[in-house]
Amino acid sequence: MRLGSIVLFVAFCSFTAYYIYEPIPEDIEERWKLMLANSFFRTVSHLADLCELLGLKDYMGVMYVITLVEKVVPVSDEHVKVTEETFDGVDVVLYQPIVQESEPNLRRAVIYLHGGGWCLGSPRMSPYDLLARKIVTELDAVVLSVDYRLAPPHHFPIPYEDVYRVVKHFFRKEVLAQYSVDPGRVAVSGDSAGGNLAAAVSQQLRKEPGQQIKLKAQALIYPVLQALDLYTPSYQQNQNMPILPRTLMVRFWSEYFTTDKALFRAMMANTHNSPESSILLKFVNWSAFLPETYHKKYNYSAPAVSQGAEGEAAGVDEPSRSFADPRASPLLVPDADLRFLPKAYILTCEYDVLRDDGIMYATRLRAAGVEVTHEHYTSGFHGAVMFTVWPTDFLIARRMISNYIKWLMENL
C-alpha cells in the first residue's frame, strides 16, 4: 500500500513537471515563473477546447475566466479618485489625481485601451487598475480606461467604434473642462489589441474631414497591426511561445471578425486573403519593412490568395473585406495617411508573434516623417506588462512600465 502511494506520488509529480515544463529561451528572465503562469493559460485553453467540442460553451466564453480571475472593483484611494462613467453609451473607468488646491492646473490625459485580443480583458483587471494609478500619480495625469464591447458577440467594427466614440466625447470642450484636461496634451495608448485600437483611432481621427481633434501622442505596447500575413518571421519563430502562441493569436483574429470556424482554418494556413485584400500585401511585405537582423533564417513568400467562389465557400470572402480595413489592420494604410500622425512610442518583444507588426509600423512611420521611439526588449515576451501582481510579477514588467511612463513624462 505504501509502495503504491509512493508510485502514485512520483507519477503525479512527474506528470506535473512534464505539463509545466516548456522549452523557453535561456535569455528570458524568471523562466520557471513564466512556465508556471503559462500552465494556467494552457489549462484554461484546453478546457475551452473541450467545452466547445462538447457543445457546452464557446471557446472565448470559457477563456473569459482569465479576465474574471484578475477582476477588481476600482475604488478611490488617498491619491487617486476613481469613478465609473458612461461616455456616449460606452462604459469607462476614470482615474484622476485628488486635487489639493482649489483651482488645479490643466493636466495631461491618457486614454488607455486594454488588450485581450478584442475578446478578453477589462479595465477592471488588477494589472490595468494598477497601471492607471501609476500613470496618475507619476504624471499628475487623468487616465480614461475604456471598457469597449468584446467579440464575440460584438465583432469588428464594434470595439473600434466604441473607442472612437469615447475619444470624440472626451474631446468635447465641456468634458475636458470638467476633468481639467489640456486638449493639447492627450495621448491614446494600449497594449496588444488595445494597441491596435489606439493606432487605428489615431489614423482615423486624422482622416475625418473637418475633424479638430489632435492627439499629442500614441503609445503602443506590443501592438497587433495586420491580419494579412500571419506567417511573418516572428509568427514562425514564436509560434509555440507562452502566453500568446500563434494558434491563439489567429483565433483572436478570426473571432474578431466572425464565429465561422472556416475563417480560423484559412487563417491558420495563411490562405485567407482574397484578390481584394491581396492588393494590400505590399504594406506588410516584411522583406521590405523589417530590418535584416529580424529576417533570421526565414525567407519571404507572399501569402496565398483564395480565388472567387473558393474563398466564398470557405467562408472567407466577407471577413476579408474587414481584415483589409485599416480600422482593423492599421499597418495597411498608405504612406500619405501616416505623414501627419502624432509622435509614437512602440514597444516590441523578441519572443512575441506580434514583434514584426510593431517593428514594421515603426519603420513605416519613420519613413513617413513621424517621430518614433521604438523600444525593443530582447528578452521580452507578449503580455509582460500584465505581470505586475504577485505571484506572477516579473522584473521585466517593472522595467517596461518604468520606461513607458518615462516616455509619457517627456513627450506628453
DSSP code for 342: P
Q: Which of 192, 202, 254, 306 is catalytic?
A: 192
- What is the side-by-side order of every strand in the sheet holding 181-191? 80-87, 90-97, 142-146, 107-113, 181-191, 217-221, 343-351, 372-381
| Identity of the amino acid at 220 | L
Helix (H) or strand (E) holding 322: helix 317-323
Rounded to the nearest 5 degrees, what angle is found at the Cα of 345, between the Cα atoms of 340 and 349?
135
- Rounded to whole angstroms, the Cα distance separating 409 from 132 reads 14
| Cβ-based neighbours of 379, under 8 Å, separated by 6 or more | 25, 27, 28, 29, 350, 351, 396
Active site residue 382: yes
> Is 88 marked active-site?
no
Q: Which of 245, 201, 209, 196 is nearest to 353 (CA)?
A: 245
Q: Cβ of 295: how many Cβ atoms within 10 Å?
A: 15
The set of cell numbers assigned to 346 is: 512602440
DSSP assignment letter at 119: T
Among candidate residues 147, 317, 352, 356, the one labeled active-site is: 352
Q: Is 272 a catalytic residue?
A: no
Measured at the CA of 179, the angle between CA 177 and CA 181, to 5 degrees, comes to: 70
Tell me how far apart the alpha carbons of residues 243 and 395 are, in angstroms, rounded to a whole number.
Answer: 17
d(CA 94, CA 143): 6
Residue 391, preceding bond cis, omega within 30 degrees?
A: yes
Q: Residue 93 corresponds to which cell in the numbers above?
A: 473607468
Contact 24, 242 (CB under 8 A): yes
Catalytic residues: 192, 352, 382
